[in-house]
């Protein structure tokens, strides 16, 4: 089993709750920010023809085609294949890029007219993130204790109102992982926060990660 760099259980959730609806034998897929290749291998096992892409190929372990590419390039889709893919996955990638809108525009260019993209990113709108920002002015999963290459927090409201329309994409489905709680907080804190979300409004109040299923406009 190829190890995943993403938070524990996220790949399994994405595969069962999102990709299972779209992945079929013969579908062409590209896994952006593939890392060791865990998600690319899952797509292969679902029958897809898979291309893996990442900046650093050294850690790639899957026996699949791999392209070394910088996602900060303005038109990286031209290298991978414009309108060539039925499925685009980007698991915990968009928060690493300098221009999230530019990244999303490239995702749109990669998709075939009927294709779907499945993206995940840290949920900086969730209750623990809001409390942390209120108390410290820092963003959960984006601060000194998070990945130092996290440079672009994705706020759900801005994503849906501004980023997606400007990128030529629309939201087909929004999932949260985990759906009704938190795994990245200490158990005692997660328990309190899980109680809190029962009484507070907000579409993104729960979950450590957004799981976004996107399609072309």
- β-partners of residue 169 are 216
Q: What is the DSSP letter of 3?
A: P
| CA distances to 109, 163, 204 from 13, in Å | 26, 25, 17
| Coil, strand or helix at 53 | strand
CA 158, CA 206: separation in Å to the nearest integer?
18
Question: Cβ of 186: how many Cβ atoms within 10 Å?
Answer: 10
* Segments in 24-155 forming alpha helices (H): 38-45, 77-80, 100-110, 127-136
> What span, in angstroms and rounded, lies between the C-alpha atoms of 111 and 215?
8
- Residue from 21, 13, 23, 67 nearest 45 by CA: 23
Supply the DSSP symbol for 206: S
- The whole-angstrom separation of Cα 9 and Cα 211 is 13
Which has more confidence, 198 or 124? 124
Judged by average pLDDT, the poorest of 32-36, 41-45, 144-148, 197-201 is 197-201
Residue 211 to residue 90: CA distance in whole angstroms:
10
pLDDT tens digits for 146-199?
889 999 999 999 999 999 999 999 999 999 999 888 887 778 777 777 877 777
Residue 24 has pLDDT above 80, yes or no: yes
Retrieve residue 62's tokens: 């899957």
CATH architecture, domain 10-123+147-183+206-216: 3-Layer(aba) Sandwich (3.40)
Residue from 203, 119, 198 nearest 157 by CA: 203
Average model confidence (pLDDT) across the chain: 93
- DSSP for 27-38 reads -EEEEET-TTSH
Q: What is the pTM of this model?
A: 0.94
Banded model confidence at residue 110, pLDDT cuts 50, 70, 90: very high
């Amino acid at each position: 089993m190829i190890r995943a760099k993403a938070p524990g259980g996220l790949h399994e959730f994405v595969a069962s709750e999102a990709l299972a609806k779209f992945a079929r034998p013969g579908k062409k897929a590209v896994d952006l920010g593939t890392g060791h290749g865990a998600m690319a291998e899952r797509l292969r096992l679902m029958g897809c023809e898979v291309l893996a892409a990442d900046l650093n190929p050294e850690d790639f372990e899957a026996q699949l085609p791999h392209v070394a590419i910088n996602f900060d390039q303005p038109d990286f889709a031209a290298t991978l294949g414009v309108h060539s893919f039925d499925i685009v996955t980007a698991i915990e990638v968009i928060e690493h890029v300098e221009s999230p809108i530019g990244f999303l525009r490239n995702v749109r260019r990669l998709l075939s007219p009927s294709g779907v993209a499945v993206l995940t990113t840290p949920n900086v709108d969730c209750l623990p993130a809001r409390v942390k920002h209120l108390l410290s002015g820092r963003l959960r999963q984006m601060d000194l204790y998070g990945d130092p290459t996290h440079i672009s927090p994705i706020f759900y409201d801005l994503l849906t109102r501004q980023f997606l329309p400007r990128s030529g994409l629309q939201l087909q489905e929004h999932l949260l992982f985990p759906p009704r709680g938190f795994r990245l907080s200490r158990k005692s804190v997660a328990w309190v926060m899980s109680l809190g979300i029962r009484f507070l409004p907000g579409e993104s109040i729960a979950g450590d990660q957004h799981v976004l299923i996107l399609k072309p406009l």
